[in-house]
Amino acid sequence: MKPKYYIILLFSFFVSSAAMAQRQSFIETLNSQNKWVDSVYRKMSRKERVGQLFYVRAHTNKGKAYEDSVGNVIAEEHIGGLVFFQGGPVRHANLINNYQKLSKVPLLIAMDGEWGLGMRLDSSTSYPYQMTLGAIQDNNLIYKMGQMIGYDFKRLGLHINFAPDMDINNNPNNPVINYRSFGDNKYNVAQKGIAYFKGMQDAGLIVFAKHFPGHGDTNVDSHFDLPLLPFTRARLDSLEEYPFREAIAAGVSGVMIAHMNIPALDSTKRLPSTLSRPIVTGILKDSLKFKGIVASDAMEMKGVTKYFPNGEADLRAFLAGNDLIELSENSKLAAKLILKAIRKSKITKEEFEARIKKLLAAKYWAGLNQYKPTQPAGIINDINRPEAATLIQQLADAAITVLKGDAVTLRQNPLKKTAIISIGVDKPTVFETELSKWYPNSMIFMIGKNTPIQQLKQMLLALKKFDQMFVSIHDTRLRPQSKLDYSSDVKLMIADLAARPNVVTSVFANPYTIAGLPGIEKSAGLLVGYQKDDAMQRAAVKVISGVMKPAGKLPVTVNTFFTTGMGMRF
């Protein structure tokens, strides 16, 4: 490249970087008047203004009749936006374009994509779960992931990601948060969540920290019932709310409210926090001075509808201070109840106007004042670009955690007779195939999660002929739960193997599963890879073979042997 062209390119880079840096955050824009917002608001009827509160479910895997029914809701109820769920990326992009044509005011399109589009869509990239990210010590990688996910969302015509999850998962048996959390250390959760949402916001997404004031220490799934949070106000202030306070200080654009009964904050019996004005307005908006968008968690969940059916939950959520009502069971009925409450002056004109204008301001910030349809051509290649795969491997490399052993212990002797064993699978794993390249005198074994005891005994006898072993434990289920679904006989075999000399064990599962494998701590070497992904398996092989030094630290306490922050470095 000739010098003068280099100078021009360099100058243009600095100009574009400066322009990106100068763009105001959504929160900052709320401090000034917006002519577009004022103009749109003036042209709306009261019914249309109320419609802006509602965000309705949308799919592309439920057939045309379902898609048409959503289209009717858009046209008739003048809703503010949609929340897309399962389907395919190209179908989503095309349907979003069609739906936008039906709306008088452009729609904000949302998705719950905590680990990217792949959380909901086929043919799409999935990034690591937040529990995996919690092990990473370089938060710049998490910021980059946020940027990548932001690009993917925008490419499909999406504007909102209901992420990150900023709950502190201090209950290993939590059935609904768990691996969706960055861990049980409030400082780590805050720092990781901020890095993630800043990456997304800088890429142009509106994001929501969830689930305020903290859903991490519950043993009830609010999709099915109302959890009780029985802690004192002091405990909630110092622990559960900490990441949310930090996120607000860092400029997060939105906060999502959890469905939980919290007597210390509102003593009303069976009242979900979503419907509590003392919590939503009193604490979040007034005490914590949050000025962004407050969204309810899904209003179709049993944690809220069980005690407040037939639109009552939506009305109470609105009166409590929620700006965005997500997934109402009956948005048409709920809108009528809210209109009636406005006529009866149950909310001031000034508060109602400010909340609707805030939602319109989000549309302006997202660029919907100059809406352009998404171009479907090339979407699959764009959202599955090589840079995404490279970053996923970098994240896995940074997360892999050594809980026991050093470089010599993990490597063992590449020339000795070696057994490479994968448990919980029915075909060779990436871990086995990659590791076997480093051990020429090796043999691969596979053990299913329910292998009969007679076969296990035969295998144990056969393994006595080997000098050393690498054991990998895999959870092949769609979501990495706290307990493995292995038979008791297979779990006993894991303990038997761990007690033998020269055994290195790698766990590609939720770290909490280690607590359900007594005896595994006797392994000469122990690595945790957090999830089943190929990238994590490659990262473990890199550490074992000495190609890479481990840097990850355990984000949760598993048991007395393995506690938060543990992670060998050598």
For residues 68 and 288, what is the distance between their CA atoms, to the nearest angstrom?
41
Strands 54-58 and 325-326, by their bridges, are: parallel
pLDDT tens digits, residue range 257-302?
999 999 999 999 999 999 999 999 999 999 999 999 999 999 999 9
Contact residues for 519 (Cβ-Cβ < 8 A; gap 6+): 494, 495, 496, 498, 499
Q: How confident is the model at residue 532 (pLDDT cuts 50, 70, 90)?
A: very high
Average pLDDT over residues 155-172: 97
Radius of gyration of the chain (CA): 26
Contact residues for 391 (Cβ-Cβ < 8 A; gap 6+): 127, 141, 144, 145, 148
Question: CA–CA distance from 44 to each of 77, 124, 369, 511 (Å)?
Answer: 12, 38, 15, 52
Four-residue CA torsion sign, 376, 378, 381, 387: negative
Q: Which pLDDT score, from 0 to 100, does residue 23 have?
A: 79
Environment class of residue 302 by beta-carbon count within 10 Å: exposed (0-12), middle (13-18) or buried (19+)? middle
Q: Which pLDDT score, from 0 to 100, does residue 6 have?
A: 39
Average pLDDT over residues 328-350: 97
Q: Which pLDDT score, from 0 to 100, does residue 102 have?
A: 98
CATH of 400-545, one of 3.30.465.10, 3.40.640.10, 3.40.50.720, 3.40.50.1700: 3.40.50.1700
Which range, of 219-223, 277-281, 352-356, 457-461, averages the lowest pLDDT?
219-223
Q: How confident is the model at residue 103 (pLDDT cuts 50, 70, 90)?
A: very high
Q: Which pLDDT score, from 0 to 100, does residue 9 have?
A: 39
Q: Which pLDDT score, from 0 to 100, does residue 117 have?
A: 98
Give the CA angle between residues 309, 232, 215 to the nearest 5°: 50
Average pLDDT of the chain is 95
Environment class of residue 3 by beta-carbon count within 10 Å: exposed (0-12), middle (13-18) or buried (19+)? exposed
- The phi and psi torsions of 254 (rounded to 5 degrees) equal -145, 160
pLDDT at residue 10 is higher than 80:
no
Give the domain ranges of the chain: 34-386, 400-545
Strands 525-528 and 401-404, by their bridges, are: antiparallel
* DSSP reduced 3-state for 505: strand
pLDDT tens digits, residue range 124-153?
999 999 999 999 999 999 999 999 999 999
pLDDT at residue 565 is higher than 60:
yes
For residues 476 and 454, what is the distance between their CA atoms, to the nearest angstrom?
23
For residues 166 and 240, what is the distance between their CA atoms, to the nearest angstrom?
9
pLDDT at residue 16 is higher than 60:
no
Q: Which residue has the tokens 């481990």?
A: 550
pLDDT tens digits, residue range 231-247?
999 999 999 999 999 99
Structure tokens at 34: 């917006």
Q: Which pLDDT score, from 0 to 100, does residue 11 have?
A: 39
Average pLDDT over residues 494-516: 98
- Residue 296 host element (H or E): strand 293-296
First to last CA, the chain: 42
CATH of 34-386, one of 3.40.640.10, 3.20.20.300, 2.40.10.340, 3.40.50.10540: 3.20.20.300
pLDDT tens digits, residue range 389-417?
999 999 999 999 999 999 999 999 999 99
pLDDT at residue 101 is higher than 90:
yes
Nearest in space to 89 (alpha carbons), one of 15, 152, 170: 152
pLDDT at residue 20 is higher than 80:
no
Per the DSSP assignment, residues forming a β-bridge with 474 are 508
Give the CA angle between residues 144, 145, 150 to the nearest 5°: 95
pLDDT at residue 18 is higher than 80:
no
Q: Which pLDDT score, from 0 to 100, does residue 22 have?
A: 57
